[in-house]
Amino acid sequence: MAIADDHTIPDGLPPSTRWIAMLTVAISVGMTVLVGGVANVALPTIAHDLHATPAESIWVVNAYQLAVTVTLLPFASLGDIYGHRRVYCWGVVLFTIASLACAVAPTMPLLVIARVFQGFGGAGIMSVNGALIRFIFPRAQLGRGVGFNGLIVTGCSAAGPSVAAAVMALTSWPWLFYVQVPLGAISFALSVRFLPRTPLAGAPFDPPSAVLNALTFGLFITALDGVGRGQSAALIAAEFAVCFTIGYVFVRRQLGLKAPMLPVDLFANPVFALSSATAVCAHCAQVMAMVALPFYFQYVGGLSPVEIGVLITPWPTMLVIMAPISGRLADRYNTGMLGGIGMAIMVAGLLLVLFMPVPMNRLDVAWRLAVCGLGFGCFQTPNNRLLIGSAPPNRAGAGSGVLSTSRLLGQTTGSALVALIFGLTSGSVGLGTQMSIGVAASFATVATVLSSLRMGWR
């Protein structure tokens, strides 16, 4: 695939092609987000049809998430070196082929292998999509682009379970993957034609860094998963010890590179470092609440899964509403201030949920969750805009990769903490949920403080 890259880059694409390019990004990003949600819903059916145990079927989800996490930074580095559009296009190709392989997989091991390659393709897309948005929109309108991207991510994430249920009601689970194939083909054709050329970093790719990156993040996620599943403390401690040892070697190696895979040089920029840390804390807080509350609603409130889905809807709905609005605000006002206000609102929402009256009134639950969604929606787009915009143009891929990695690390940590808290509370769902929401509010408070420290930057 011959995709040229140029060092002379204009400030955004012309208006005539800007939104077509953004639609191209939206299709691929939407696919990568949807495929995670739809797989979760279909796991019991997949396990039955492929004669696998529930524990084995979990790897349909884990394989994808692990593959994405360990390759985000290497693909972001490749984007800076060889061009973001080139990496993005190859990511779409790999994701599409792997989707077809998932659909036709006759056994669970083959499906898991296909999901690994689908994760590699998804990482190729997610690692550079933020960098591409930076060059699709002029800097003065970057918030709009980031807001639209947030709208797609949030909307597809919220719609994932519903889309999966609709597909499963009409046909079989392989069609959850078949539908990705024509979308991938359309996205590839549009990507080659409309995505912008971006500046190159002018540094070679470093394979040892890619290996150290994979080992560091892979062991970290494995150890966190062990915490949630109640593995022995000795094994978990050993995994963390090896993880941090390799991570130390990884970071030390990056210090001597011109364009490091883990952009330690960019973390010297306070706004970049604060934005990354804020993203980890905020996503951790959100996931803790979204994972713990359904258990509470089902086991304490006695609600059905359908009722729980409806009850939680105000949270993602407010995210969808606020994503484009906060994007426009981020182009006009101080992004650190906007992020701090958003997280402060989320803290208030989580505290309202924590002290929710029992027995609970559904209307009371709905408006409290809407407050949480409003706060996170006010925070997310300004924070993403500030993080992506604070990286130099020739390191935009590194900024995009750190953004995606921060989100995944926060989500993974949040899920593991909920599992740990539920284990420590000896199965008391009510107490476990209260503690989880309390810890989530604490993470959101830290995110509020970190975001407010960026008041001097736009």
Question: What per-residue confidence (pLDDT) applies to 351?
Answer: 92
* Residue 283, pLDDT above cutoff 80: yes
Please check whether residue 381 is in contact with residue 65, taking contact to mean a CB–CB distance below 8 angstroms. Answer: no
* Residue 5, pLDDT above cutoff 60: no
Same domain, 116 and 230: no
Residue ranges making up the domain that contains 401: 266-452
pLDDT confidence tier of residue 120, bands split at 50, 70 and 90: very high
pTM of the complete model beyond 0.85: no
* Residue 295, pLDDT above cutoff 80: no
Question: What per-residue confidence (pLDDT) applies to 102?
Answer: 92
4 within some domain? no
In terms of C-beta distances under 8 Å and separation of at least 24 residues, what long-range contacts does 299-308 make, across chains too? 299/429, 300/429, 300/430, 300/433, 301/359, 301/360
Which of 101-115, 388-402, 434-448 is predicted with the least confidence, judged by mean pLDDT? 388-402
pLDDT confidence tier of residue 445, bands split at 50, 70 and 90: very high
Same domain, 190 and 129: yes
- Cβ contacts of 111 within 8 Å, gap of 6 or more: 46, 50, 60, 102, 105
Question: What per-residue confidence (pLDDT) applies to 54?
Answer: 66
277 within some domain? yes
9 within some domain? no
Same domain, 31 and 109: yes
Same domain, 128 and 39: yes
Question: What per-residue confidence (pLDDT) applies to 93?
Answer: 94
278 within some domain? yes
Interval 87-104: pLDDT, tens: 999 999 999 999 999 999
Question: What per-residue confidence (pLDDT) applies to 412?
Answer: 79
Same domain, 163 and 247: no
Same domain, 108 and 158: yes
Of 190, 224, 256, the residue at which a domain comes to its end is: 256
3 within some domain? no
Same domain, 180 and 195: yes
Question: What per-residue confidence (pLDDT) applies to 3?
Answer: 40
Question: What per-residue confidence (pLDDT) applies to 2?
Answer: 39
284 within some domain? yes
* Residue 347, pLDDT above cutoff 90: yes
Same domain, 238 and 353: no
10 within some domain? no
362-389 and 429-452 helices, crossing angle to 10°: 40
Average pLDDT on 39-50 reads 76
5 within some domain? no
Same domain, 192 and 216: no
Question: What per-residue confidence (pLDDT) applies to 228?
Answer: 65
* Residue 457, pLDDT above cutoff 70: no
Residue 357, class by beta-carbon neighbours within 10 Å (0-12 exposed, 13-18 middle, 19+ buried)? exposed
* Residue 242, pLDDT above cutoff 90: yes
Q: Supply the mean pLDDT for the chain.
A: 82
Structural domain tally of the chain? 3
Domain at 167, CATH number: 1.20.1250.20
Question: What per-residue confidence (pLDDT) applies to 329?
Answer: 82
